[in-house]
Amino acid sequence: HQLDSYKQQKKELLHKGTTSITNLEGWVGHPLDPIGCLCRTFLEACRMDDEGLVLFPDSPAEPKKALYQHIPVPSSPGESYYMLALEVALLGLGQQRSMPDGLYAQDKVVRSEEQLIGLLDEMELDERLVPVLRK
């Protein structure tokens, strides 16, 4: 059955450039930015306070990487908001979608993807995040 489904999707892709599982309106690049908002919200809950935060330094310095900690989700033992942030970002970036028609819309999708990749770059990989990557 899976082989038939794969063959059907391959035919659809060759004929019209999309498949039955292609989402025409993806979450990344959406005007309301649901993936970015959710990911940043989860990360904000995990952010550790910086003692030495200086808003206007006298000399330009390297921006420090944000530090995050695992904050447990009360209703879900074994999960943290940090793990959920990673999962949401990966779901958004892994979503199969077609590229929008207009140049502005395409640019918005690319910028949204770059922002999500930047958030992923801020995250330190630890042993609790590995199962999220395996899902």
Query: Block means of pLDDT (10 residues each) for the chain, length 135 residues?
Result: 69 59 65 89 88 54 75 93 95 84 87 92 92 89
Q: What are phi and psi of 62, to 5 degrees?
A: -65, 130
Rounded CA-CA distance 90/93 in Å is 5
Give domain limits for the chain. Answer: 27-49+66-133
pTM, 2 dp = 0.69
CB burial string 44-61: b at 16+ within 10 A, e below: ebbeeeeeeeeeeeeeee
pLDDT given at position 48: 87
Instruction: Assign 95 to helix, strand or coil.
Output: coil
**Residue 28 CB contacts under 8 Å (≥ 6 apart), including other chains:** 35, 36, 92, 93, 95, 97, 109, 112, 113, 116
**Cross-strand partners of 47:** 68
pLDDT on residue 62: 58
